[in-house]
Amino acid sequence: MIKSILSLVIATTTALSLAAPTQARMVRTDISKEAIMGLVKTGQRLGIQFQVDTPDCKENARLMGYMVAPQMVMTVCLKNHEAYGDMAVVNLADTIRHELIHAAQFCKATYSSNVLFPDRINESLDFAQEHLDWNVLGYPVQYWNAEGEARTLAHHFSEQQVSVLLDKSCRYSDTNQSMIGDIRIGRTPITGTLRPEKHR
């Protein structure tokens, strides 16, 4: 599965011009296949599992990816990203950043709320709606904060910054051990508000 992600990244990167054409939704264009793979590897080292092009992806061509908790499994819909043409790798990177930010939120929700930066939540919600064309009404109100934050951070943070955030959020502060396995088996339950499993 990691080779599938890498294959799409390599194939698309060769044809990708990082000077992005105008599009409806802003995405970062300063990405590299090495940075994307570094972020995926951080998730794997922590114990997050990845799967590619599941039946859900095939049933919904607009689905780009999702993170399921407490299983801590991230699904990437690679074939669906092909609809972005020359922007496929840029949007793939955005999806990976976005979903791994949700993973960090799930980790934080084991000891607090699932919002990583609560003092900036209004700013995140405003940015996601005004600049990223997020339709907040497409989500139940209890998921607005987590989803708005994930969209905004995925836009503002590089793969390296998301990697640091994920690593810091998903390790126990006293032992520096990953909490992903404990979340998966229920030893460390998620108590904060969860978000929907599938988006976009």
State the total domains in the chain: 1
pLDDT tens readout for residues 151-174: 999 999 999 999 999 999 999 999
The whole domain housing 39 covers 2-185
Residue 42 lies in a domain: yes
**H-assigned helices in the chain:** 2-15, 33-46, 55-59, 78-81, 88-108, 121-131, 144-156, 159-169, 180-185
pLDDT tens readout for residues 66-125: 999 999 999 999 999 999 998 899 999 999 999 999 999 999 999 888 899 999 999 999
Residue 157 lies in a domain: yes
Residue 192 lies in a domain: no
DSSP 96-126: HHHHHHHHHHHHHTTTS-S-S-GGGHHHHHH
Residue 64 lies in a domain: yes
